[in-house]
Chain A
Amino acid sequence: MKVVWLKLMSIFRLNLLIAFLLSVTAVALLWNKYGMDDIYTIKPATYPYIIAQTDSVDGGASVLDLSRTDSSIVMDYELREGYPYPYVNMQIYLGDGKDHGKDLSHYDSIYLWVKPRGEGSVRLYLRAWDDSISKPGDQATLKFNELEFFPLEETYPAVFVPQEFRVAGWWVSQHNVNAHRARVDLSNIPLIEIQTGTAAPLGYGTLEIMGITFKGKLISAEKLMFVLVALWFFTFLFYLILRLRDYSIQRNTERKRREELEHNLVVLEVEKSDYEKASKEDALTGCLNRAGFTSILTHEQEHLNTGGGALSFIMLDIDFFKKVNDTWGHSVGDEVLVNLSKLIRSRIRTTDALVRWGGEEFVILCSDTPLQNAQFLAEKLRTNVENTQLISQQQITCSFGVAEMLPHEDPKSVFDRLDKALYSSKRGGRNSVTAAIKKI
């Protein structure tokens, strides 16, 4: 089952991969749209790090009474003349409240539950620590990311996006901040302030704050898209590498298989050649056998019949070979055959063919040779055999018959003549050459 599964995987892996990626992409996009929420809520009713502040720190005379209910915190205040811009505020500390606050940069909306009593604007400050500007212990150096709004004109809760914040201009000029540094930065917020706005009238007022909620996504849509694109890219890159590896392995396998096949082919060719050779050769002497002779004869006959040179045959028979076998044994007889064939081969041309006709009989096919030349060759061979010590035990001689084939003649007729000529040599006392000559 596992093997079948792996096989299916290997066949359809691209389809499966695309299906997998599409599924992951769809799930991720849907999850990002309808889930994947990152929510941070501050409930002032229970949040411990909240303090009240008035303009008295700047020389003003405004007063503020901060009280908690079960679900909110209530700011009862009286804005009085004194400070040019009278105000009261509520400070909510995040993190250590100094230089290590909370990163609110990944939230894309801010919900503020605030109920005012009376008209007037409200300011929301997200005070940011900036390493290049802020100084430890000096709260005034925390960047003023501000938003001013009229609660009565907003929905409940009021909803804002980070893009609606700006850095307070007076703070920028007061701290001589570089324009590039004067951007809204919510990455390190140690302090949130909810303060009466510039349009808040003098006199009594109340702000009831139920909570602040920051909502965002665990992964932003941009990041998710980047991740998905990267996922698709690296998956296909990985797939490509796998394909290249597979291709390389396949190529190597095919090369090995091809080499193996070529090797086998060579072996088969050699074997075929050996078998062919063996089927056409006499195992003992290495001469052609009758099967080998037939193919050569056919070729030579065609040559003769199409006006080629004369074709002659010499048939030779070892004299008293039976006696050699009977006297010295068959191994000596074999030695005679081997040595005789070696001797003859060394004396004939490469275009001639030596055939073991059977037993102690041999035939030499002499291409492009007329009868008289074949007889002369036979005479020379006869003399060579007579003068060569083929075996140490005794002298060996041969009797020869010579005949020339006529164009379009049946080979049987030629061999009949050869036999007769050879018989004539035998009858005449052996160790002689007889040619079958055409009677005039």
Chain B
Amino acid sequence: MKKFFLFFACVILFGCAKNNPEFIPLSLNWYHYEEDVRGIDASYTAAEVDSSMEETCLISMTRALMEDKNIQANSKSGKEFNVQYFGRIQSEKTVAEFRGVCAQPNDHTNFEKSILFFNGEKGCNFSAFCDKNGKIKDLKVF
């Protein structure tokens, strides 16, 4: 009986305790890939992403990454991603493709010129598309 009351008191105490949200840092290093997208995938057709779409998509992508559980998984001290994006034609429509990978210390690769390759670390890679309206599709974290 005593144990029951103790348990009950603990439940009440923790249940009523103010639940302060936790925050973790997220750094995103954006790189607009300027080279030929066929170097990434031979089937890709390059498309121009105007500044309006670029702004909309970057903001949407940021939000999507912030709200993604998998991105936050195993990242108590935060994460830093290098994110490469470029425009291409998909189903006759212009989309912005995002490819992200965890940033490595002392890696100063300029992903505006170099192709970003995924690595084998789990939860450290992601890819997504963004249409003209800024809607993020097929966000995959792997």
Contact = CB atoms under 8 A, between A and B. Distances in A.
Q: Do A and B bind each other?
A: yes
Contact of A372 (B27, B30, B62, B105): B62
A429 interface: yes
Interface in B33-65: 55, 58-60, 62-63
Instruction: Give the interface size bracket for B toward A.
Output: 20 to 34
Interface string A396-424: 00000101001000000000010011001
Nearest to B73: A440
Contacts of A424: 25, 27, 78, 80
A434 B23 contact: no
B127 interface: no
B27 A376 contact: no
Contacts, number: 75
Nearest to A425: B27
Given A433-B28, A434-B78, A372 B23 contact: no
Given A375-B28, A379-B30, A433-B28, A439 B59 contact: no
Main secondary structure of the interface of B (DSSP, over half): mixed
Interface residues of A, number: 26
A428 B27 contact: yes
Contact of A371 (B30, B60, B66, B80): B66
Contacts of A436: 23-26
Contacts of A403: 23
Contacts of A406: 21
Q: Nearest 9 A-B pairs (CB), nearest first?
A: A424-B25, A372-B62, A439-B22, A372-B63, A434-B27, A437-B66, A436-B23, A434-B25, A437-B26
20 contacts: A372-B60, A376-B62, A379-B58, A401-B25, A403-B23, A421-B25, A424-B25, A428-B105, A429-B105, A432-B27, A432-B29, A435-B25, A435-B27, A436-B24, A436-B25, A437-B25, A437-B72, A438-B66, A439-B22, A439-B72
Interface of A: 370-373, 375-376, 379, 401, 403, 406, 417, 420-421, 424-425, 428-429, 432-440
